[in-house]
Chains A and B, each alone.
Chain A
Amino acid sequence: MAASPTTSVPRQVTRHVVLVVFVLLMIYPLLWMVVSSFKPSNLILSQTGLFPSEITLENYADGWDALGSPFSLFLGNSLLIGVGSVLGNLFSCSLTAYALARLNFRMGKVYLALTLMTIMLPFHVLVIPQYILFADLGWINTYIPLLLPKFLATDAVFIFLMVQFIRSLPRELDQAAMIDGAGPFRIFWSVILPLMQPALITTTIFTFIWTWNDYFGPLLYLTRTELYTVPVALKSLVDTETQSGIGTMFAMSLLSLVPIVLFFIFAQRYIIKGIATTGIK
C-alpha cells in the first residue's frame, strides 16, 4: 500500500516494532514447547519463560519407549508412507497432467473439468465406501489404503498444478521432438518431465508434509500399534497422558515436527510459490 518514497523513517520503525511483537506472539508457543521439552515435567506448567532452571533429556528418553515400541518405529513407518506417497503422486499425477495438458483427444476437457471438481469434494463423502471396500479386500492394518490412491492420481490439486505448469512450456519443444521422430511417451519422458522439475518439487514437498501430518487415514486403517504412523502414535501418548506426562508428549511432538521444519527451511521458495499459484495450504 505505502509507496516507498513517502514512507518516513519513524513510520518504518513503528512498522517493524509492531511486526516483531506480532511474530513473537505467534511463535512464542512453539518456542515455549521447545524449551519445555528439556525441562522436568513437573516444572513445565509453572514456568512460562524461555529460560529453564533445569535442563534434562529425560523426556526424550522416556518418550522414545513410552508406547512399547521405540519411537523410531513410528518415524520409520511415517517416512515409508511419506516416500511411497511422493513416488505415487509424482508418477500418477505427471502422467495424467501430461495427457490432459498436451494430448488432443475428445474427452480432454471433460476429464480436466472432472478432475477439478474432485478438488472440491469433501473427503468424508468418499471415505465410508472406501473403508468398506478396503475392509472387504482385507486391507485393514496394511498400508495399501494409504498408498494405493496416490498411485491412482487422486490428489487432483497436483494434477492441476502440473497442468498449469506444462501449459506454460512452449509447444515448439514438443513439435521439434516430434519432427525428430519422438512419440508421446518419449516426449513426456525426455522433454516435458525434465522441464517440469519445479512443479515436481512442489508436489514432493506438499505430498510429504500432508502425508506426514495425515491423521484421519491412519486412524481409520491402522489399529495395530506396530503399524502406527507418528500422528496416531502421538495421539495414543495423549490417551495415556497421566503416565507419560507433558514433558514426554512435548518431546515426541517436537520430534514429529522436525521433518516439516527442515522442508520449511530448505524448500521455502517452492512452498511459497506453490501456495501463491494454486492456493494449497
Chain B
Amino acid sequence: MMTLTSSKDTGRQEPGPSGDAGSPGPAGRRRPRGRTKASGGTRGQGLVAHIFLLPWMIGMVGVTAGPLVASLVLAFTDYDLLSTPQFIGLDNFVRMAGDERFWAAVRVTLVYVLVSVPLQLGFALFLAVVLDKGLRGLSLYRSAFYLPSLLGGSVAIAILWRQIFGENGLVNHVLGWFGIELGSWLQDPSLALSTLVVLNVWTFGSPMVIFLAGLRQIPEELYEASMIDGAGRVRRFWSITIPLLTPIIFLNLILQMISAFQAFTQAHVVSGGSGGPLDSTLFYTLYIYQRGFVNFDMGYASAMAWVLLLVIAAATAANFIVSRRWVYYGDE
C-alpha cells in the first residue's frame, strides 16, 4: 500500500516545526498523521472508511440525528400532521406543567422505575449468588430463570398477565386459599400498576446472567484468604462479594433503569391502550403515544419526549456521580 509508506515518511519528517504557520489549513490537517502509528495511513483509509460507513452515515443523519433535531424543533410548535407547524415558544412546556395526566404519567413511571428496578436487581443478585460456584445443574437453573427475560417483552405474555391477575385469575385463586378476596387487579387503580411491576421483576434473568459473569471474575484466593482469617459466610459476602461486584451492580442499575423508563408494550396491552383504570398504568411513553398518535398532538408529544430524554440523561448522570461513593474500581 503506497499510502502506508508515504504517510509514515511524512510523519517522521514532521515532528519538527511545521514551518508554515501562516497557513493553518494544511498544517492542521497534517498534524494527526504524526500521531498515527506506522500501522495505517490516515488519509488513505479515510476514504475507504467512509465507503464502509455509507449506510451508517445515511442512518445517522436520516434516522437518528435528523429526527433528534426535528423533534427538538417540534417541541416548540403546535403541529397536528395536517397543517404547517406553528411556532408557539414554550407553550407546550407550560401546558405540561398544568396537565394532570402528564403528572399522573410522571408519577406512575417514577413509581415503576423506583420499585421494579431495585426489586428486579435484588432477585437477580440473590439468585446469582445462590447459583454461583459449586452447584450442580447451574446451567439448567440459569436457563429456567432466563427464559422469562426473553419472553417478558412480548404481547403474548401481556395477554397471559391479563388473565393471571383477572378477577378469577391464578393469583386471586391462590390468595383465596388464605381467605383473601380481591377483585380484578386490572380494574383496581391501587393494584393495577403492581401487576406490571411484578412482570418486570419476573424478567430478572438477564441482569442475573450479567451478575453471574461478574461473580466469576472474583478471584477465589480472596475467599480462601478470608476463610483462613476466620471470616464467616455472611462476612465474606459483605466484605468481598458485594464490594467487588459493585461495578456490575452499577452497570445493571443503569441498563435496567433506562429500559424501565421506556416501558411501553406491557402497559399498552394490559390496560387496553388506555393506561387505566384512572390513569394508574399510564406510563410516560404510553401518554406520549396517546398524545402523538391518537390525538395527533405532535408538538406536545415531542416536548414530552424531550423531557423524557433529559430526565433519563439526568438520572444517568446522577447515578454516575453518586457511584463514586459506592462503586469500587480495583485498588486505588
Contact = CB atoms under 8 A, between A and B. Distances in A.
A128 B305 CA distance: 9
Interface string A194-217: 000000000000000100010110
Contacts of A167: none
Interface in A25-48: 26-30, 32-33, 44-46, 48
Contact of A215 (B48, B146, B265, B306): B265
Contacts of B154: 213, 231, 256-257, 260
Contacts of A256: 154-156
B206 interface: yes
A29 B50 CA distance: 51
Interface in A188-244: 188, 209, 213, 215-216, 219-220, 230-232, 234-235, 237-239
Given A1-B129, A23-B141, A184-B52, A132 B81 contact: yes
Most buried by B among A1, A16, A209: A1
B68 A125 contact: yes
Contact of A238 (B60, B150, B269, B305): B269
B150 A188 contact: no
Interface stretch (A54-62, A65-73, A79-87, A93-101): A93-101
Given A48-B173, A99-B49, A279 B305 contact: no
A48 B202 CA distance: 20
A128 B298 contact: yes
A257 B151 CA distance: 7
A154 B63 contact: yes
Contacts of B316: 120
A151 interface: yes
A173 interface: no
A113 interface: no
Contacts of A230: 155
Nearest to A188: B52
Contacts of A29: 160, 164, 170
Interface stretch (B16-24, B92-100, B255-263): B255-263
Contact of B52 (A12, A99, A121): A99
A105 B63 contact: no
Contacts of A121: 64, 68, 309
Given A45-B169, A105-B45, A215-B268, A129 B70 contact: yes
B305 A26 contact: no
Contacts of B60: 114, 118, 153
Interface in B128-165: 129-137, 141-151, 153-157, 159-160, 162-164
A128 B268 contact: no
B115 interface: no
B15 interface: no
A171 B293 CA distance: 50
Given A104-B39, A135-B81, A95 B56 contact: yes
User: Among the interface residues B50, B155, B288, which one has the most CB atoms of the partner chain A within 10 A?
Assistant: B155
Q: Is the interface of B mostly helix, strand, loop or mixed?
A: helix
Interface stretch (B185-193, B233-241, B320-328): B233-241
A128 B49 contact: no
A133 interface: yes
A210 to B, nearest CB: 8
Contacts of A23: 141, 144-145
A184 B64 contact: no
Interface string A99-128: 110011111100100110010111111111
Contacts of A98: 52
A69 B11 CA distance: 67
A149 B48 contact: no
Most chain B beta-carbon contacts within 10 A, residue among A107, A128, A234: A128
B138 to A, nearest CB: 10
Contacts of B148: 26, 30
A153 B269 contact: no
A219 B290 CA distance: 12
Given A108-B49, A135-B81, A235-B269, A257 B156 contact: yes
Contacts of B269: 215, 235, 238
A281 to B, nearest CB: 5
Interface string B33-51: 0001001111101101110
A128 B143 contact: no
A114 B124 CA distance: 31
A281 B67 contact: no
22 contacts: A1-B215, A7-B134, A30-B160, A91-B55, A106-B32, A107-B46, A114-B60, A122-B258, A126-B63, A126-B67, A129-B67, A129-B68, A132-B81, A154-B63, A185-B48, A215-B265, A232-B155, A234-B156, A253-B155, A260-B151, A275-B209, A281-B149
Given A1-B132, A26-B148, 7 more contacts: A27-B147, A96-B56, A104-B45, A130-B67, A132-B81, A133-B62, A253-B156
